[in-house]
Chains A and B, each alone.
Chain A
Amino acid sequence: DAGITQSPRHKVTETGTPVTLRCHQTENHRYMYWYRQDPGHGLRLIHYSYGVKDTDKGEVSDGYSVSRSKTEDFLLTLESATSSQTSVYFCAISEWASGRTDTQYFGPGTRLTVL
């Protein structure tokens, strides 16, 4: 998985509790992304980062926040988990630069269940 790990791999939590998912890379790639994957929707971008402390929202960012204090770590936080956030979460990395066509590489995923 291109030097990308996600933790935890599985989590069950209750509605209203905070949850933090971690993505760690060893590739020193500049860009990091959080996606969620649900049946019928494919991959949907939650947030992404284009450098340390530089982040931006994706198409489904409501209810999620992120932080990137180091190049290698990108954290996704659900401040107060809801059942609609039950999903599989994937982290991805890339070294995209203008004029280049670097692809994204994905981590193994975290399966989150909110009861």
Chain B
Amino acid sequence: GESVGLHLPTLSVQEGDNSIINCAYSNSASDYFIWYKQESGKGPQFIIDIRSNMDKRQGQRVTVLLNKTVKHLSLQIAATQPGDSAVYFCAEGGSYIPTFGRGTSLIVHP
């Protein structure tokens, strides 16, 4: 979800569990969405994207679900690993200036 104040929402999971990270977007006209992963001290890294004419898209261990009715996006990570620990944020694309969410911090405990 979106952050409030200075602290990001945090999701703590055990290694091997599935993780679900949520994102609410604001523009009902947005037609393209991206999930990024940002590890500490690094730049955001593209994970997966989805166009608005799709409800679901799968990658390697990741699935993005799009619910346009409630303007909600989720990222599912299967069999979460310690290397998945990072901040994840969504972006509304479809134009040359995307809109970024503030992110969710995922902590994976071994």
Chain A residues within 8 Å of B, Cβ to Cβ: 1, 31, 39-43, 45, 48, 50, 58, 90, 94, 96, 101, 103-109
Contact = CB atoms under 8 A, between A and B. Distances in A.
A96 B96 CA distance: 6
Nearest to A97: B96
Contacts, number: 56
Interface in B59-110: 89, 91, 93-98, 100-103
A101 B46 CA distance: 13
Interface in B32-61: 32, 34, 36, 41-46, 49, 51
Most buried by B among A40, A41, A104, A106: A104
Main SS of the interface on chain A?
loop
A96 B34 CA distance: 14
Interface string B1-43: 0010111000000000000000000000001101010000111
Contacts of A48: 96-97
B46 A103 contact: yes
Contact of A1 (B43, B49, B93, B96): B43
B106 to A, nearest CB: 16
A25 B108 CA distance: 33
Nearest to A31: B96
Contacts of B49: 101, 103
A110 to B, nearest CB: 10
Contacts of B43: 1, 90, 106-109
